[in-house]
């Protein structure tokens, strides 16, 4: 067995590969008929769908014949989508090519498919950027933190898509294609929803408090559609690109999703801001921005529809002849998922995922909202995110280089402490907000603290995903990766609602009369009341009062989160993470 492993690991060297190609046909036949390879390929093809850009799905290292062709599996007939063999064998020849050293060296077919993936991922990022970015900022001026926390439920489908991803992989129309069977109808429904929202969203946002449930349900549905499409696009990405250039699928996801999110969050908020438009584009000030939410949604509704028609007409998906992808396929993937979560080490790792992000939640969810509440303009905040965007890409590159070796989670541990420190710095930044408004120096501090927090967050993200890649069982790599990534996403979602409600709970504010403008009758009849929540603030404004903040719940909540995160880290997380990263890979494997 040792010699076989060494042989396989040395195949990358040309001379070794030439020598190995002269091995007996008996060995090749034995490898082709191996049930391990068949099971590995089947399960890998079923479950690769991650929101965070991870596409580290392992296909079995099939050995080449003397002609240089990759041997097929037992049930491959040239139409197997997981390996993407076309009838004329062109795809097989692409698999033999060496991986492109840069994006611009991709073969023409791969480059076209790479561009298609970028567009599909960009379309997914548009509603996600609205639901997780712009809409909470727009709602904050009308709602309390707890109510904004309720709206954050709209982002949950991305943390739960593992529940229905096997269905997306297994049920499809052979005539349309496995992936287009889902992408076409999902984008059609999404376009209709975006166009309808474009005609009604302004009215709903004006009366956000009474229509919060409807707004949340609508954006929940949009994000659910995007998460489902993400499953289909992730699966299609594995077959659109040649095997040698499969790593560029995650690059396409990173470019597409981040760009879509960036457009719907940073760019939209900037052009939706009247202050930004008056400062940079207008000579005569106006009360509205250059771009309304209604116009933005209608534009992307038509863009969705146009792309759907173009995809339906202009892109043919290779038909699959895999007969295993029926009810048994769904059952097999759910069974594999259950076996994964039953592993003791995986259970411990899942527990760490679920609690590890609690210490950063107040900073991640509330700090930017507090800066806006203090007086930071939306265009200055948009500028901060704009500057931060290229740094995230650079940080991701170096974090990937650091997360190698026998302790890939060491950068994650260092960045954990760094994120706690960054949360405290951000709190100081909010506390010392200038009374006369944010000047250039203060804005520079905001950018520096934001970049520092982004650096720590990116290091943790890349490091933990590198570890996921190392421990995932190759026999069920896609399902394994999707399980871990879904739990990781959920760990950053569930505490957010609690934190936002905690901010409201700890906040103490009283509405009092303005002694300079109050009449004697008002002084005699006025009874002070709480204005901690948005409804109280609005009532205080209506009666001509002044809302005096006695205790800001943000500071208490952030301190409690940091203290809880720090105590958890030094008493439990650090010790367990050090233990988990030193385990032998066999401890992470599912028994067949």
Is-contact 194 301, C-beta < 8 A?
A: yes
531 has a pLDDT exceeding 70? yes
What angle do helix axes 494-506 and 477-491 make, rounded to 10 degrees? 0
Residue 500 is predicted with a pLDDT of: 87
Residue 584 is predicted with a pLDDT of: 87
Residue 304 is predicted with a pLDDT of: 95
90 has a pLDDT exceeding 70? no
Task: For residue 243, give both structure tokens.
Answer: 């095997």
Residue 376 is predicted with a pLDDT of: 87
How many whole angstroms separate alpha carbon 103 and alpha carbon 254?
Answer: 14
78 has a pLDDT exceeding 80? no
Residue 183 is predicted with a pLDDT of: 94
Nearest to 492 by CA among 16, 152, 64: 152
Q: Among 211-225, 345-359, 389-403, 409-423, which is the least confidently predicted range? A: 389-403
Is-contact 362 424, C-beta < 8 A?
A: no
Residue 362 is predicted with a pLDDT of: 93
* CA atoms in the 13 A half-sphere facing the CB of 105: 8
How high is the mean pLDDT of the chain? 76
74 has a pLDDT exceeding 50? no
* CA atoms in the 13 A half-sphere facing the CB of 15: 0
Note the pLDDT tens digit of each residue in 178-188. Answer: 889 999 999 99
Label residue 372 by pLDDT band (50, 70, 90): confident
Label residue 250 by pLDDT band (50, 70, 90): low
Q: Among 244-258, 498-512, 526-540, which is the least confidently predicted range? A: 244-258
How many whole angstroms separate alpha carbon 404 and alpha carbon 413?
Answer: 14
Is-contact 471 585, C-beta < 8 A?
A: yes
How many whole angstroms separate alpha carbon 202 and alpha carbon 197?
Answer: 9
Q: Among 63-72, 308-317, 362-371, 522-531, which is the least confidently predicted range? A: 63-72
Mean pLDDT of 448-455: 91
Residue 396 is predicted with a pLDDT of: 63
Residue 98 is predicted with a pLDDT of: 57
Label residue 190 by pLDDT band (50, 70, 90): very high
Q: What's 138-201 look like in SS3?
A: HHHCCCCHHHHHHHHHHHCHHHHHHHCHHHHHHCCECCCECCHHHHHHHHHHHHHHHHHHHHHH
Note the pLDDT tens digit of each residue in 456-512. Answer: 988 888 788 778 767 876 555 556 767 787 888 888 888 888 898 899 899 999 988
Is-contact 322 75, C-beta < 8 A?
A: yes
Note the pLDDT tens digit of each residue in 20-58. Answer: 343 333 343 333 333 333 333 333 333 333 334 333 333
Question: In this prediction, what percent of the chain has a pLDDT beyond 70?
Answer: 75
Residue 504 is predicted with a pLDDT of: 87
Residue 475 is predicted with a pLDDT of: 56
Residue 418 is predicted with a pLDDT of: 95
Residue 251 is predicted with a pLDDT of: 67
336-345-583 Cα angle (round to 5): 115
Q: Which residues contact 306 (CB under 8 A, 6 or more apart)?
A: none
Nearest to 545 by CA among 574, 567, 515: 515
9 has a pLDDT exceeding 50? no
Note the pLDDT tens digit of each residue in 540-591. Answer: 888 778 888 889 999 999 999 999 999 999 999 999 999 999 998 888 887 6
394 has a pLDDT exceeding 80? no
Residue 44 is predicted with a pLDDT of: 38
Mean pLDDT of 225-253: 77
Q: How far is CA 493 from the centre of its chain?
A: 11
| Maximum average pLDDT range among 126-135, 149-158, 456-465 | 126-135
Residue 279 is predicted with a pLDDT of: 78
For the chain, what is the radius of gyration of the CA atoms? 27
Label residue 86 by pLDDT band (50, 70, 90): very low
How many whole angstroms separate alpha carbon 560 and alpha carbon 555?
Answer: 9
Residue 393 is predicted with a pLDDT of: 66
Mean pLDDT of 343-362: 93
Nearest to 57 by CA among 590, 483, 474, 462: 474
10 has a pLDDT exceeding 60? no
270 has a pLDDT exceeding 90? no
Q: Long-range pairs for 503-506 at CB < 8 Å and ≥24 separation?
A: 503/145, 503/146, 503/362, 503/366, 503/553, 503/554, 503/557, 504/144, 504/145, 504/146, 504/532, 504/533, 504/553, 505/553, 506/551, 506/553, 506/556, 506/557
For strand 508-513 and strand 529-530, is the pairing parallel, antiparallel, or unpaired? antiparallel
């Amino acid at each position: 067995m040792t010699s076989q492993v060494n042989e396989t690991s040395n195949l990358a060297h040309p001379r070794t590969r030439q020598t190995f190609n002269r091995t007996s046909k008996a060995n090749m036949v034995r490898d082709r008929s191996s049930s391990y390879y068949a099971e590995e390929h089947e399960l890998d093809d079923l479950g690769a769908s991650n929101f965070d850009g991870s596409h580290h799905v392992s296909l079995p290292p099939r050995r080449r014949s003397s002609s240089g062709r990759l041997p097929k599996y037992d049930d491959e007939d040239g139409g197997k989508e997981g390996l993407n063999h076309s009838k004329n064998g062109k795809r097989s020849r692409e698999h033999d090519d060496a991986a492109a050293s840069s994006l611009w060296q991709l073969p023409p077919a791969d480059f076209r498919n790479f561009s298609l993936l970028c567009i599909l991922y960009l379309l997914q990022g548009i509603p996600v950027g609205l639901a997780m970015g712009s809409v909470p900022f727009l709602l904050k001026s009308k709602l309390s933190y707890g109510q904004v926390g309720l709206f954050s439920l709209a982002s949950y489908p991305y943390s739960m898509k593992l529940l229905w991803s096997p269905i997306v992989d297994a049920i499809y129309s052979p005539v349309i294609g496995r992936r287009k069977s889902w992408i076409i109808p999902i984008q059609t429904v999404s376009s209709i929803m975006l166009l309808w929202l474009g005609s009604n969203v302004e009215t709903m946002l004006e009366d956000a408090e009474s229509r919060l449930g409807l707004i949340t349900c609508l954006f929940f549905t949009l994000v659910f559609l995007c998460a489902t499409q993400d499953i289909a696009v992730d699966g299609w990405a594995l077959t659109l690109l040649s095997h040698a250039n499969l790593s560029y699928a995650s690059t396409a996801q990173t470019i597409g999703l981040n760009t879509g999110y960036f457009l719907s969050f940073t760019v939209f908020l900037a052009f939706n801001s009247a202050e930004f438009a008056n400062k940079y584009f207008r000579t005569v000030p106006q009360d509205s921005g250059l771009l309304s939410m209604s116009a933005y949604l209608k534009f992307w509704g038509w863009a969705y529809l146009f792309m759907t028609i173009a995809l339906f007409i202009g892109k043919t998906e290779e038909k699959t002849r895999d007969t295993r992808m029926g009810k048994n396929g769904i059952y097999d993937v759910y069974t594999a998922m259950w076996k994964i979560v039953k592993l003791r080490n995986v259970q411990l790792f899942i527990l760490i995922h679920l609690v590890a992000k609690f210490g950063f939640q107040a900073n991640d969810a509330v700090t930017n909202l507090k800066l806006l509440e203090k007086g930071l303009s939306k265009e200055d905040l948009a500028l901060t995110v704009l500057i931060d965007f290229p740094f995230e890409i650079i940080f991701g590159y170096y974090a990937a280089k650091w997360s190698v070796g026998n302790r890939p989670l060491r950068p994650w541990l260092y960045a954990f402490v760094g994120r706690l420190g960054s949360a405290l710095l951000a709190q100081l930044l909010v506390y010392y907000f200038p009374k006369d408004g944010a000047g250039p120096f203060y804005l520079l501090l905001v950018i520096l603290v934001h970049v520092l927090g982004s650096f720590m967050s990116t290091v943790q993200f890349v490091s933990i995903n590198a570890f996921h890649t190392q421990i995932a069982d190759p026999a069920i790599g896609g399902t394994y990766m999707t399980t871990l990534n879904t739990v990781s996403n959920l760990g950053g979602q569930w505490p957010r609602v609690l934190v936002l409600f905690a901010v409201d709970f700890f906040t103490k504010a009283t509405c009092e009369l303005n002694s300079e403008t109050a009449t004697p009758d008002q002084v005699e009849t006025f009874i002070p009341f709480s204005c901690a929540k948005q409804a109280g603030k609005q009532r205080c404004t209506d009666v001509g009062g002044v809302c005096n903040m006695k205790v800001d719940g943000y500071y208490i909540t952030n301190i409690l989160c940091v203290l809880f995160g720090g105590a958890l880290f030094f008493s439990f997380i650090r010790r367990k993470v050090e233990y988990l990263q030193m385990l032998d890979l066999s401890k992470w494997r599912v028994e067949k």
